[in-house]
Structure 1
């Protein structure tokens, strides 16, 4: 259990540095998303060998599911990386986690059940917090609002990615799932980067290497491990580290200040992230969607 807690903390810290590294990269926003996956892929391949989790032969249905997940992941990273350049680091990290509420809604719709009191309170808090943060962004600069909306769009695509990967996770070990989803997202991101233009080949590889290792390998890898051993509530509480670490980085390096509306809105969304997981607080976080037979 101690290992799982340590993995969760390290994963959230690593992921919180992602937006800053995206800003430091000397390539376009979408190109940085491509390199994040391309540089991580060889490391993930070696990790599958080290953990003895080989990639099995996939059925056509599974290939289609993974391809859909890869396309959603590419769209998520593309929208998010662009949004990072147009809003505060804390906002980008905060809105990226809105996928939690979309997944909760997906499960409720799929099971045809009404939300419980925790889920209802979470949805209300999330809505209130989002409106407060968006309103504050518009007051400061309309470009910040654009960045916030792009990060929300990224959260929608990320929810689609998680649904697809949860199906794959029912059939595959965690490291192969991460490797396959990484490979599936590389092609679309490279195409998006070329079509949108901007610098593709970096002059300084350090930010991109750190982004690939910290976010894609360490962050995602340890989070997958932690989710199999810790309760949903603990995972939800751990996610709250990310926006506050990102806010600290934004304040130190870019002079990004949080107004009262930002703080209240951010706390409301953070509280909602915890509440939306409380209905499953007694057991490890479940697979979102059952695997197809």
Structure 2
């Protein structure tokens, strides 16, 4: 029996990509709620998320196509360690921010990597942004100014939480940049498994030194973070982005702030006002614009 053409294989493999992308985004959207439900300190919940996910990710790394864990060398381990460092810093400050601001703000502001990546391309790679990227950056800046400014009016605690979530976006941008380099030489799941393993190692001393509980009494929230957010959520998105356009990926990621805002309103009475709604609308518009595919070059 002859193998099907390569394009037929690609269609077959990507058949469930959109459903996987939506499901992954839904899983990630419940992450901030689980952080609040956890009976351990915020950084400790980040460490448990990473540690408990490692066995499942290492198992999944053995499946699929492309270079796996057996292809690692010193250079790839170094990249994985750097990705894990950025990922650990991202989760640590984000979990601290989740406890200090609304769930909607925590999710929206943490998506700042969408806007920081074009800025990285402009400043570091000297890539000239198109009109859509410039408009997205302007809308994002205006939207975040509204959200952060309103938090400053509400309470200093909310302002601190917003700034921590913005810092998480910076660290997550670094993680994405390093992971992009790592994935040029390794398959997605082995890359995620290694970055998670190194991230857990970085988070351990931070979690031990943090004031507050370290050992969970109720394991449900941290298991939900590990399985729901890290294994299923990240795993489905890592699979889906290989088969979907940037526009589809961006639009489906908007499921996260919508669900987080709904949970915040229903569970924690975090009802958004006109300033928050206006700022969120600007950030959502920027997210869509930032993920629109750019114009094709004549040689593409």
Report the CA distance between 1:52 and its aligned residue. 6.4
Give the TM-score normalised by the residue count of structure 2.
Answer: 0.91
Matched, 1:46 2:46: no
**What is the alpha-carbon distance in structure 1 between the residues aligned to residue 97 and residue 33 of structure 2?**
12
- Is the contact made by 2:102 and 2:264 (CA closer than 8 Å) also made in structure 1? yes
- 1:10 equivalenced with 2:5 (yes/no): no
Post-superposition offset of 1:280: 4.0
Q: Which residue of the other structure, out of 167, 174, 187, is the alignment partner of 1:153? A: 167
SS at match of 1:213: helix
Which of 188, 213, 220 in structure 2 is aligned with 1:174?
Answer: 188
1:30 match = 43
Q: Which position in structure 2 is the counterpart of 1:134?
A: 148
Q: Please, which of 215, 221, 225 is the counterpart of residue 229 of structure 2?
A: 215
Unaligned runs of 5+ in 2: 1-13
22-31 or 188-197, which deviates more: 188-197
1:70 and 2:84 aligned: yes
Do the aligned residues in 2 keep the contact of 1:134 with 1:148 (CA within 8 Å)?
yes
Equivalent pair of 1:128/1:265 in contact (CA under 8 Å) = yes
Looking at structure 2, the residues matched to 108 and 59 of structure 1 have their Cα atoms a distance apart, in angstroms, of 31
The answer for the alignment partner of 2:249 in structure 1 is 235
The size of the alignment, in residue pairs, is 282
Normalising by structure 1, we get a TM-score of 0.93
Paired position in structure 2 for 1:93: 107
| Cα distance between partner residues in 2 of 1:14 and 1:281 | 32
Partner of 1:285: none
Q: Secondary structure at the match of 2:101?
A: coil
How many Å apart are 1:103 and its aligned residue? 1.1
- Deviation, 1:59, is 2.6
Structure 2 residue 96 is the aligned partner of structure 1 residue 82: yes
Asked if the contact 2:130/2:294 (under 8 Å) is kept, the reply is: no
2:268 maps to which of 254, 268, 283: 254
CA displacement at 1:61 relative to structure 2:
2.1
Aligned to 2:3: none
Give, in angstroms, the shift of residue 138 of structure 1.
1.2
Q: Residue 69 of structure 2 aligns to a residue in which SS?
A: coil
Q: CA deviation at 1:100?
A: 1.2
Please list the CA deviations of residues 200-247 of structure 1 after superposition, one character each: whole Å capped at 9, or x if unmatched. 110000111111111101111111111111111111111111111000
In the alignment, the residues of structure 2 paired with residue 281 and residue 260 of structure 1 have an alpha-carbon distance, to the nearest angstrom, of: 35
Which shows bigger deviation, 104-113 or 168-177?
104-113
Instruction: Show the counterpart of 1:103.
Output: 117
Map Cα deviations across residues 160-206 of structure 1 (whole Å, 9 max, x no partner): 11111111100001110110010010111111111223211100001
Unaligned runs of 5+ in 1: 283-293
Q: Is the 8 A contact 1:233 1:281 kept in 2?
A: no
Q: Contact 1:88–1:250 (CA<8 Å) still a contact in 2?
A: yes
RMSD of aligned C-alpha atoms?
Answer: 1.4
Conservation of the 8 A alpha-carbon contact between 1:234 and 1:281: no
CA contact (8 A) 1:125 1:269 kept: yes
Contact 2:96–2:161 under 8 Å retained in 1: yes
